[in-house]
Protein backbone atom coordinates (compact mmCIF):
# COMPACT_ATOMS: atom_id res chain seq x y z
CA UNK A 1 0.00 0.00 0.00
CA UNK A 2 1.50 3.34 -1.08
CA UNK A 3 1.92 6.19 1.33
CA UNK A 4 -0.20 9.28 0.87
CA UNK A 5 1.90 12.13 -0.52
CA UNK A 6 2.62 14.82 2.02
CA UNK A 7 1.42 18.28 1.07
CA UNK A 8 3.23 21.44 2.08
CA UNK A 9 1.82 24.93 1.91
CA UNK A 10 2.95 28.50 2.39
CA UNK A 11 1.38 31.91 2.08
CA UNK A 12 2.54 35.31 0.89
CA UNK A 13 2.98 36.11 4.58
CA UNK A 14 5.63 33.35 4.79
CA UNK A 15 7.41 34.82 1.77
CA UNK A 16 7.27 38.27 3.40
CA UNK A 17 8.95 36.91 6.54
CA UNK A 18 11.85 35.19 4.78
CA UNK A 19 12.46 37.99 2.26
CA UNK A 20 11.75 41.05 4.39
CA UNK A 21 9.48 42.42 1.65
CA UNK A 22 6.07 43.94 2.28
CA UNK A 23 2.84 42.38 1.02
CA UNK A 24 2.82 44.93 -1.81
CA UNK A 25 6.45 44.06 -2.64
CA UNK A 26 5.72 40.35 -2.96
CA UNK A 27 2.61 41.11 -5.02
CA UNK A 28 4.65 43.34 -7.36
CA UNK A 29 7.08 40.46 -8.01
CA UNK A 30 4.13 38.22 -8.87
CA UNK A 31 2.70 40.84 -11.28
CA UNK A 32 6.11 41.38 -12.91
CA UNK A 33 6.60 37.64 -13.38
CA UNK A 34 9.54 37.28 -10.99
CA UNK A 35 7.53 34.87 -8.82
CA UNK A 36 4.97 32.25 -9.66
CA UNK A 37 3.75 31.01 -6.30
CA UNK A 38 2.40 27.73 -7.70
CA UNK A 39 5.80 26.74 -9.16
CA UNK A 40 8.27 25.35 -6.60
CA UNK A 41 11.34 26.18 -8.70
CA UNK A 42 10.13 29.78 -9.10
CA UNK A 43 9.62 30.11 -5.34
CA UNK A 44 13.06 28.63 -4.58
CA UNK A 45 14.75 30.96 -7.06
CA UNK A 46 12.85 33.93 -5.65
CA UNK A 47 13.88 33.14 -2.07
CA UNK A 48 17.50 32.57 -3.13
CA UNK A 49 17.57 35.95 -4.85
CA UNK A 50 15.42 38.14 -2.59
CA UNK A 51 15.69 36.37 0.77
CA UNK A 52 17.16 38.01 3.85
CA UNK A 53 20.97 37.79 3.96
CA UNK A 54 21.00 35.07 6.63
CA UNK A 55 18.54 32.98 4.59
CA UNK A 56 20.59 33.38 1.42
CA UNK A 57 23.80 32.50 3.25
CA UNK A 58 22.16 29.39 4.70
CA UNK A 59 21.04 28.32 1.22
CA UNK A 60 24.54 28.78 -0.22
CA UNK A 61 26.22 26.92 2.66
CA UNK A 62 23.87 23.99 2.18
CA UNK A 63 24.40 24.02 -1.59
CA UNK A 64 28.16 23.68 -1.28
CA UNK A 65 28.04 21.42 1.75
CA UNK A 66 29.84 23.72 4.16
CA UNK A 67 27.46 22.95 7.01
CA UNK A 68 28.10 19.21 6.60
CA UNK A 69 31.88 19.65 6.44
CA UNK A 70 31.86 21.59 9.69
CA UNK A 71 29.81 18.88 11.38
CA UNK A 72 31.97 16.07 10.02
CA UNK A 73 35.26 17.68 11.02
CA UNK A 74 33.97 18.45 14.49
CA UNK A 75 32.78 14.89 15.09
CA UNK A 76 34.89 12.66 17.31
CA UNK A 77 36.65 9.83 15.57
CA UNK A 78 34.89 6.52 16.01
CA UNK A 79 38.04 4.48 15.42
CA UNK A 80 40.81 4.62 17.99
CA UNK A 81 44.32 4.97 16.68
CA UNK A 82 43.34 7.27 13.83
CA UNK A 83 43.07 11.05 13.55
CA UNK A 84 42.77 13.70 10.84
CA UNK A 85 45.67 15.65 9.35
CA UNK A 86 45.68 19.37 8.48
CA UNK A 87 43.74 18.70 5.26
CA UNK A 88 41.05 16.67 7.00
CA UNK A 89 42.26 13.30 5.68
CA UNK A 90 42.23 10.22 7.91
CA UNK A 91 45.72 9.39 9.18
CA UNK A 92 47.21 7.02 11.72
CA UNK A 93 47.65 8.60 15.09
CA UNK A 94 51.28 8.88 16.15
CA UNK A 95 52.01 7.03 19.40
CA UNK A 96 52.85 9.24 22.36
CA UNK A 97 56.53 9.94 22.84
CA UNK A 98 57.46 8.38 19.50
CA UNK A 99 60.26 9.68 17.35
CA UNK A 100 59.04 11.66 14.33
CA UNK A 101 59.06 9.65 11.12
CA UNK A 102 59.56 10.51 7.48
CA UNK A 103 56.16 9.06 6.55
CA UNK A 104 57.61 5.66 5.62
CA UNK A 105 57.93 4.45 9.19
CA UNK A 106 61.63 5.20 9.55
CA UNK A 107 62.84 7.72 12.07
CA UNK A 108 63.81 11.13 10.78
CA UNK A 109 67.40 12.17 11.42
CA UNK A 110 67.66 14.89 14.02
CA UNK A 111 68.62 18.38 12.91
CA UNK A 112 72.21 18.24 14.15
CA UNK A 113 74.57 15.47 13.02
CA UNK A 114 76.02 13.43 15.85
CA UNK A 115 79.69 13.97 16.58
CA UNK A 116 81.85 10.93 16.28
CA UNK A 117 83.65 10.02 19.43
CA UNK A 118 87.29 10.85 18.98
CA UNK A 119 89.86 8.48 20.26
CA UNK A 120 92.83 10.38 21.32
CA UNK A 121 95.90 8.70 22.65
CA UNK A 122 96.52 9.54 26.21
CA UNK A 123 99.49 11.84 26.65
CA UNK A 124 102.53 10.50 28.48
pTM as predicted: 0.51
Q: How far apart are CA 61 and CA 67, in angstroms?
A: 6
pLDDT, one tens digit per residue, over 48-101 is 999 999 999 988 888 887 666 666 666 665 666 777 778 878 777 776 665 665
Quote the pLDDT of residue 86. Answer: 81
For the segment 13-32, the average pLDDT, to the nearest whole number, is: 95
Quote the pLDDT of residue 100. Answer: 60
Quote the pLDDT of residue 51. Answer: 95
What is the percentage of the chain residues whose pLDDT exceeds 70?
A: 63
The C-alpha angle with vertex 43 and arms to 41 and 49, in degrees rounded to 5, equals: 100
Phi, psi at residue 81, to the nearest 5°? Answer: 90, 0
Q: Which of the pair, 12 or 71, is modelled with greater confidence? A: 12
Write the Ramachandran bin of 33: left for phi over 0, alpha for psi from -120 to 50, otherwise beta: left
Amino acid sequence: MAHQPQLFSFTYKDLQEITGLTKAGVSQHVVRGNLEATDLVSVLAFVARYGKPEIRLSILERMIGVDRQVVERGRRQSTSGFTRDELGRVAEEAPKYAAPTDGEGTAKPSGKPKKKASRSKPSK
